[in-house]
Amino acid sequence: MERLEHRLGFLTGLPIIVLLLISFIMPLFVVAGFAIMPQRVFELAHLPDFSSFAVIWEQGYYKSLLRSLGLAFLTTAILFVVCWPLAYGMAKVFGRFTLVITLAVVLILFVSENIRLFGWTLSLMKGGLIEGHLRAWTGLSFESPLYDWPVIVFGMAYVYFPFMLFPLAQGISLVPDDARLAASDLGASPARILFEIEMPLAAPGIMVGSLLTFVLSAGAVAEAKLLGGRSVVVLTDDVESAFTFGQNWPLGSALSLMLIVIVAVLAMVPISRINLDAIMGRKR
């Protein structure tokens, strides 16, 4: 019976496995193949050449990689701090009002990311919605915060807010109320309950939310373009330039492969520790 269930499970998952192979794994092999081709070639019929990786170091492309990873880490940390209180309320306090918050957050996702970011650009620009009205009403003015790294972090935190909020809420819902109450009865302070009871038990949700936020932020494109302009160059800008204006597919592939490998290595630790059965409510 158990063997039959495994066979049925494999057959049921076979279409999605084939789809992943075609749409995800095969493009990765193509990117990896172009990454070891000579400079400025457009086919894979060449001897392997690792000059693209030397160019990454010689021309300083690693700086944009470090910048992308740093912004992604900062965005993830900010979103965790911002989302934890709201996620806790959704899981333990708000009751039916949680549905209202969930719908409000989900409805935002129905609007294109580019449109939302462009709205912030029009609001924050010099003479835009905020500065223009402030100057008209009070005579006060301020310099536009656009085209600098803090506004890029703000844009990524704004866009990827749901990807941290909902996994956190799911993780916090796994924390038994009895454990928290028992710790409180034994004299544990709220801070100790938070760091020694709630956060360890909610670790699966924390890891999922952090992983989603970090991976999406590391590969973000629109935020840097619309809010940062060309003043802050992230790795995705270099990848796009290499594939389009530079017409250097091997360099673009090498940059992409470098980001994929680093993000995959960083993601392996939380993935190995995530209990998906607990998050999905399944019995092991």
**Segment 137-167, tens digit of pLDDT:** 888 888 888 888 889 999 999 999 999 999 9
Q: What is the pTM of this model?
A: 0.83
**Segment 60-74, tens digit of pLDDT:** 888 888 888 999 999
Q: How far is CA 134 from CA 101, 122, 127, 137, 142, in A?
A: 30, 14, 9, 5, 9
**Segment 182-194, tens digit of pLDDT:** 888 888 888 888 8
Instruction: Classify the C-alpha dihedral 146-149-155-157 as positive or negative.
Output: negative
What whole-number percentage of the chain has pLDDT above 70? 93
Q: What is the DSSP string of 84-141?
A: HHHHHIIIII-TTHHHHHHHHHHHHTTS-HHHHHHHHHHHHSTTSHHHHHHHHHHS--
All structural domains of the chain, each given as residue ranges with its CATH number in brackets, are 60-280 (1.10.3720.10)
